[in-house]
Structures are given as structure tokens and as C-alpha cells.
Amino acid sequence: MVTKITFKGTSYNLDLDKPIDISIPLRTGKENVNAWYAKPVTIEPVRMGDWVGDVKQGGSVNFRNIMFNPHGNGTHTECVGHISKEDYSINQSLKKFFFMAELITILPDETPEGDHIITKQHIENCLDGKHPEALVIRTLDNHISKINRQYSNTNPPYLHHEAAEYIDQLGIDHLLIDLPSVDKEVDGGKLLAHHAFWQYPHNTKTARTITEMIYVPNTIFDGTYLLNIQIASFENDASPSKPLLFQLNKAL
């Protein structure tokens, strides 16, 4: 279904029947992407006496329990409740679901200490004066193994807090990244990038979200897209999510 939208005076055509899914599916077992020493996802049929919630095993329906951690087991969208003393839920914080987004690709810099960081200069160069509502960051190398990578104790790349401050200054409300966190894996609990993006606690931006552990295939070009963030209605700081990109073509 082709429709037309207008953003900052420019009209675009897009096909809502052709979404680009940049989420990583939640799968049972150790092949699922994992971080923060979370236990693997389990999806198991309910058993009550002789009854089993699995048609293959003789049950009348498939009726399964699912155990997962949204932060550690796959693509998830989180709100400021992830770092706040106050209770904020993603279900109450995310009230709009479509945004104009810019997809950028970055090769993080290596520091003398062996860290790999995304800098303010990276963001500034890639955006080149653009002010999107959402920013989608793909990091290099962008191997397909990201969909089942085991990140715990690997010190993955992360966002320098000055880059997060710059993203805040641009007025970007939704940040998506293909890493387990915008912050360094072990930073003594500082979470500088999270705090800078949400401006917590002194000027808290409660409507903002961070989506982590996405995967953007190499076949998708950098540029401007319509973004749809889909979540489950969890009253929790984070939910598994399904971000979708829609290709835009300028309307004649």
C-alpha cells in the first residue's frame, strides 16, 4: 500500500507493504543473541498432570511459557525507567510509534586502552546538519553473526558520552543501535551515555527511548527512512521490540 507523508515541508511516497525489519527474533536456546550474562531464552510447553501444551506431543493446543530478559536476550526498547529511581514504564513513555529516522553507519575508533567508541565527530559527520526525530546507528564490521553473538565479557563498542550529549542537543528523541548498550559494558555503574541522552535526573526527557541490539543488513543503504517502533505493552522499563524501517521516495 503506497501512501504519502510530509516532513518539514518535503513530501515522500512509501510502501507500507514493504517494511524492513531490523529486530533480532527471540529464539529459544543458546544461539539467540545474548548479553549481560542473561540466561538463554526458554520457550516451553505448559505441563499440568498428563496434559501438555504441545500439539506435537498430543496436546489440543500449543500453550507455552516464555522466559527471557528484555535487556539481555534480544532487540529491546527502553525508557528512562532503566536508570531512574522513579518508576517509568516503556508502555507509558512511548506514545507515538512513527518517526522520521536517519540510518548511519560508523566504524568505531579504537582507544589506546583497547575500547572501541562512537564519537561526537562520527555523529556530526554522518548527519551533516540533519535533525531527524530518530537516529539508527549501524556499526562496522556488520557481520551477520550479530544475530546470535554472545556479548557478555567481550567489552563491545559503545557510545562516548559526548556523542550522547550531542544527540540530545540535536533534539533526537529515539536512538537505535546494534550493540547491547550505548554504554561501556563495565563502567562502574556510571552509564554516562544513558544519562546524557535522557538528561536524567535534572532535565529528564521521559518521552525518549533507546533501542539496543538491532541488526541492519548490509543491503540497506544509509539515508532517511520512516521508522515504526513496535513494543509489547509491558509496564516495565523495557520491552522486546520490533523496529521497522520504510524506504522513502520524494514525491513529484
Helix (H, G, I), strand (E, B) or coil at 120: helix
| All residues at 6 or more sequence positions from 179 whose CB lies less than 8 Å from its CB, including other chains | 139, 156, 157, 158, 212, 213
What local confidence, expressed as pLDDT, does residue 252 receive? 74
Single out the residue of 102, 183, 184 nearest to residue 138, CA to CA.
102
Local confidence pLDDT in tens for the 252 residues of the chain: 889 988 888 899 999 999 999 999 999 988 899 999 999 999 999 999 999 999 999 999 999 999 999 999 999 999 999 999 999 999 999 999 999 999 999 999 999 999 999 999 999 999 999 999 999 999 999 999 999 999 999 999 999 999 999 999 999 999 999 999 999 999 999 999 999 999 999 999 999 999 999 999 999 999 999 999 999 999 999 999 999 999 999 887
Cα–Cα distance measured from residue 15 to residue 192, given in angstroms and rounded to the nearest whole number: 38
Q: Which domains does the chain have, with CATH numbers?
A: 2-26+70-250 (3.50.30.50)
Cell of 191: 552509564
How far are the Cα atoms of 12, 14, 42, 222, 226 from residue 5, in angstroms, in the given order? 5, 8, 41, 20, 9
Cα–Cα distance measured from residue 76 to residue 38, given in angstroms and rounded to the nearest whole number: 14
